Amino acid sequence: MSRYSMHILVCGGTGCKSSDSDILVEKLKKELDKQGLGETVQVIMTGCFGFCEKGPIVKVMPDNTFYTQVKPSDAEEIVEEHIVKGRKIDHLLYTDPETSKHITDSNRMGFYKKQMRIALRNCGFIDPERIDEYIARDGYMALGKVLSEQTPEETIALMKSSGLRGRGGAGFPVGLKWEFARNNVSDKKYVVCNADEGDPGAFMDRSILEGDPHSVLEAMAIIGYCIGADEGYIYIRAEYPLAIARLKTALNQAREYGLLGKDIMGSGFNFDIGLKYGAGAFVCGEETALIHSMEGERGEPTLKPPFPAESGYLGKPTNVNNVETLANVAPILLKGAEWFSSIGTEKSKGTKVFALAGQINNVGLIEVPMGTTLREVIFEIGGGIKDGKKFKAVQTGGPSGGCLTEKHLDTPIDYENLVENGSMMGSGGMIVMDEDDCMVSIAKYYLDFTVEESCGKCAPCRIGNKRLHELLERICEGKGETADLDRLRNLGEVIKDTSLCGLGQSSPNPVLSTLDNFYDEYTSHVHDKKCAAGVCKDLMEYFILEEHCVGCTACARACPVGAISGERKELHVVNPDTCIKCGACLEKCKFDAVILK
């Protein structure tokens, strides 16, 4: 084996790859060969580093230098300056937004300081396409240990005492779920990995599958041993081609090593895993709908009970866990239940991965201990609101969650606290909004999504959400009436109480929580016909300021519907009845005379 004295890690997640990180890898290799360093410096494509805002990310080891927004054209400079001459490249380093200083070491970046990586432990560290690197990081040790030293009962007991709860949304205790599946007697059982990540803005499962696929395979085999199953499936959406490719590579490597297949590590235990592709329907993240989709049926949920642990895939007992949950399994079995339960809050143990998005400086993927406050996440790790604007709200839990506001900033994040405040953990999407976001439109946006994604099986979700959406549309168009506000609340609550599955039961949450927290915005839309954030176009009017207008006629000539009148060198006026609010006049005016109010 040749001896490398340096490693260049390049992010190979979907985000960075779409910014040409794969071309960068090729160029780096070429430049290294040019300098005769091909044998001394190794270029490795890893999984996601999480700091997607500034991707593509390059990390040079062992001096732990963190470069951001690296383009393929920077390859030459990195090799010539950093690798050959040992000089760090200033303009590629991360600049601390507060001190404006360059930070070389990622450990000192605000983004990483407060993070604790369990599920993401190998993302951005190992080459996901090499099983050996996973093994070097204690990979498959948990499976080996369980198979040779522990009974299924002991393993389940350990998982129960660790306090791990499902990371897909509802937070059901994982050990208990396994126990139910184990206790149901059957000739055949199945292990299913739910990789149907559907929340807008959430991409933690994709990143884990792309950056550390073996952690999921190992956990599935462990579950197989615990519940007595010899077959597993990963239900993954076809929109994740890179994750699928890496999973296939990982499956082949694990089979070659005999870590999947017959008689794993001489224990007599057989287990193998197949892939099932979903067409990307949100409702298929619900476990009963997911199972129907796997069976080739329509992706529609059915009433629980029976739970999948009794009658799941092909009517057999089935254990379904989500990707992030599975990524936590091996570390718990290796480090112990006490270690895991020492992290987090009383009822929510361990860490949670969040996908930060919206009006925030550091968009990306983070993992923090449960109980971290929203303030820490948004202002310390997330680097605060873009362009120094004011924080307004954060949406957690995707279309099923709700909005939290300023007064919730110091609430420790865990399953219970989020629900208590009208939101939920969901899969961990966090969309941050600033003063320029209109909360009524946000609620409408999420309902757009649920109306689109509702499978249509039950009436409350199919019809109710449609009506809810129409009410919001009316309010945004300025046609709302006072009674609509009560209608929104009543209808929302009925949908919550009567829908068949989790999708419908949680779909009114964005409306109800914005009604709770931003009632004044609703009333100003309904009573004053005003949208303070300036988002709802129908409530805005174009207006020409007398003191700025010079009568140049530029706006009148730009107006496609002839709504602007006025003589040359005299004040122009917009006729609100003909105006279609296209904004052409505002763009054309050189004197800032046209305003929207």
For other proteins, the closer of residues 255 and 375 by Cβ is 255
For other proteins, the closer of residues 86 and 305 by Cβ is 86
> Is residue 356 classed as helix, strand or coil in its secondary structure?
strand
Measured between alpha carbons, how far is residue 78 from residues 32, 44, 88, 267 in Å?
A: 10, 15, 8, 49
| Contact pick of 97, 266, 456, 534 for other proteins (by CB under 8 A) | 266
Distance (Å, whole) CA 367 – CA 114: 9
> 10 Å Cβ neighbour count for 104?
17
Are the C-beta atoms of 59 and 5 separated by less than 8 Å?
no
Task: Answer yes or no whether residue 144 interacts with other proteins by CB under 8 A.
Answer: yes
CB of 255 to other proteins, least distance (A): 10
Partners of 351 in the beta sheet? 369
For other proteins, the closer of residues 80 and 380 by Cβ is 80
| Contact pick of 132, 154, 295, 570 for other proteins (by CB under 8 A) | 132
For other proteins, the closer of residues 101 and 347 by Cβ is 101
The 3-state secondary structure of 528-558 reads CCCCCCCCCHHHCCEEECCCCCCCCCHHHHH
| Contact pick of 265, 419, 552, 573 for other proteins (by CB under 8 A) | 265
For other proteins, the closer of residues 137 and 389 by Cβ is 137
Residue range at the interface with other proteins (CB under 8 A); choices 233-241, 249-257, 311-319, 559-567: 249-257
| Contact pick of 35, 38, 84, 532 for other proteins (by CB under 8 A) | 84
Written as six digits, the tokens of 569 are 């060198």
For other proteins, the closer of residues 23 and 141 by Cβ is 141
Partners of 385 in the beta sheet? 360
Written as six digits, the tokens of 338 are 């006490």
How big is the chain, counted in residues? 597
Closest to 172 (Cα-Cα) out of 34, 319, 42, 360: 319
CB of 142 to other proteins, least distance (A): 11
CB of 38 to other proteins, least distance (A): 15
Closest to 274 (Cα-Cα) out of 299, 248, 296, 254: 248
Distance (Å, whole) CA 566 – CA 575: 11
| Contact pick of 71, 114, 137, 462 for other proteins (by CB under 8 A) | 137
| Contact pick of 259, 394, 413, 539 for other proteins (by CB under 8 A) | 259
CB of 364 to other proteins, least distance (A): 19
Are the C-beta atoms of 191 and 223 separated by less than 8 Å?
yes
Task: Answer yes or no whether residue 154 interacts with other proteins by CB under 8 A.
Answer: no
CB of 139 to other proteins, least distance (A): 8
Pairing between strand 94-95 and 102-103?
A: antiparallel
For other proteins, the closer of residues 64 and 578 by Cβ is 64
Task: Answer yes or no whether residue 258 interacts with other proteins by CB under 8 A.
Answer: yes
Residue at 493: amino acid letter? E
Written as six digits, the tokens of 586 are 């505002």
**Long-range contacts of residues 103-110, Cβ cutoff 8 Å, at least 24 apart:** 103/66, 104/64, 104/65, 104/66, 105/64, 105/65, 105/66, 106/59, 106/64, 106/66, 107/64, 109/66, 110/380, 110/381, 110/383
Task: Answer yes or no whether residue 5 interacts with other proteins by CB under 8 A.
Answer: yes
Closest to 366 (Cα-Cα) out of 119, 71, 38: 119
Q: How many residues line the site for other proteins (CB under 8 A)?
A: 39
Task: Answer yes or no whether residue 85 interacts with other proteins by CB under 8 A.
Answer: yes
| Contact pick of 23, 93, 116, 141 for other proteins (by CB under 8 A) | 141
How far does the chain reach from its first CA to its final CA, in angstroms?
69
Q: Which residues contact 445 (CB under 8 A, 6 or more apart)?
A: none
| Contact pick of 1, 185, 303, 483 for other proteins (by CB under 8 A) | 1
Residue range at the interface with other proteins (CB under 8 A); choices 145-153, 234-242, 324-332, 383-391: 145-153
Task: Answer yes or no whether residue 7 interacts with other proteins by CB under 8 A.
Answer: yes
Annotate each residue in 195-234 with x if it binds other proteins (CB under 8 A) or - if it does not, as one string: ----------------------------------------
| Contact pick of 20, 129, 138, 310 for other proteins (by CB under 8 A) | 138
For other proteins, the closer of residues 107 and 490 by Cβ is 107
For other proteins, the closer of residues 117 and 537 by Cβ is 117
Written as six digits, the tokens of 587 are 């763009």
Sites for other proteins among residues 21-80 (CB under 8 A): 61-64
For other proteins, the closer of residues 83 and 556 by Cβ is 83
CB of 106 to other proteins, least distance (A): 9
> Is residue 236 classed as helix, strand or coil in its secondary structure?
strand
Distance (Å, whole) CA 233 – CA 191: 6
Give the DSSP letter of residue 109: S
Pairing between strand 6-11 and 41-46?
A: parallel
Q: Omega of the bond prior to 241 within 30 degrees of 0, cis?
A: no
Are the C-beta atoms of 390 and 405 separated by less than 8 Å?
no
CB of 133 to other proteins, least distance (A): 6
For other proteins, the closer of residues 101 and 557 by Cβ is 101
| Contact pick of 33, 153, 256, 346 for other proteins (by CB under 8 A) | 256
Annotate each residue in 385-424 with x if it binds other proteins (CB under 8 A) or - if it does not, as one string: ----------------------------------------
Closest to 354 (Cα-Cα) out of 514, 18, 117: 117
For other proteins, the closer of residues 150 and 293 by Cβ is 150
Residue range at the interface with other proteins (CB under 8 A); choices 17-25, 85-93, 387-395, 429-437: 85-93
| Contact pick of 147, 192, 491, 593 for other proteins (by CB under 8 A) | 147
Residue range at the interface with other proteins (CB under 8 A); choices 16-24, 252-260, 530-538, 548-556: 252-260
Sites for other proteins among residues 106-125 (CB under 8 A): 107, 125
Task: Answer yes or no whether residue 560 interacts with other proteins by CB under 8 A.
Answer: no
Q: Which residues contact 486 (CB under 8 A, 6 or more apart)?
A: none
For other proteins, the closer of residues 135 and 573 by Cβ is 135
**Would you tell me which residues interact with other proteins (CB under 8 A)?**
1, 3-7, 9, 61-64, 84-87, 101, 107, 125-126, 132-133, 135-141, 144-145, 147-148, 253, 256-259, 265-266
